[in-house]
A and B are shown apart, each in its own frame.
Chain A
Amino acid sequence: DIQMTQSPSSLSASIGDRVTITCRASQGISNYLAWFQQKPGKAPKSLIYAASSLQSGVPSKFSGSGSGTDFTLTISSLQPEDFATYYCQQYHSYPLTFGGGTKVEIK
């Protein structure tokens, strides 16, 4: 199975900060990488697919990059609605696997 490792597991940031989350795959996955946002008690929301493509309706403050084994999710200017947990997922091969999550909290 492909292991997905996210870092950090949590971070504290202020409104307006630029935030970067890292995801590393245990083997190359090309660009078969998605990012999800989840708020407490809610289903995940799809943000990015193919490492850098924004899902329809997702604001452009979210961006993704990377290929192979190393990927990043960046939020350009953190807003109150962005405080949540973020997960990466590889869909290169079965079983699909998720990173452990990064909880973004208010400083």
Chain B
Amino acid sequence: GAGVSQTPSNKVTEKGKYVELRCDPISGHTALYWYRQSLGQGPEFLIYFQGTGAADDSGLPNDRFFAVRPEGSVSTLKIQRTERGDSAVYLCASSLTRENTGELFFGEGSRLTVL
């Protein structure tokens, strides 16, 4: 596709449930990022993939959060045992290479609401 695609655009779930958020980056972009944006805050870094591997997962808040990118393209962010504090917009971004990072192309985000 022309841009970064994220699904679902909205997800409402109950506390304790498991959630998966999907990101389809721009074709050919090897670098992929997940960010989380809470109300009134800037995007907060979660994890960075270069190809299939997570090169930096230092932003994941705890072990309930996990992300994969098995074929170096689509990525899935997985959240176990969701908590109300996980409610936020989860943003995915991609860039052509690590050296070109900074010019990130963002998706429109997945808004997660945990009741």
A pairs with B: no
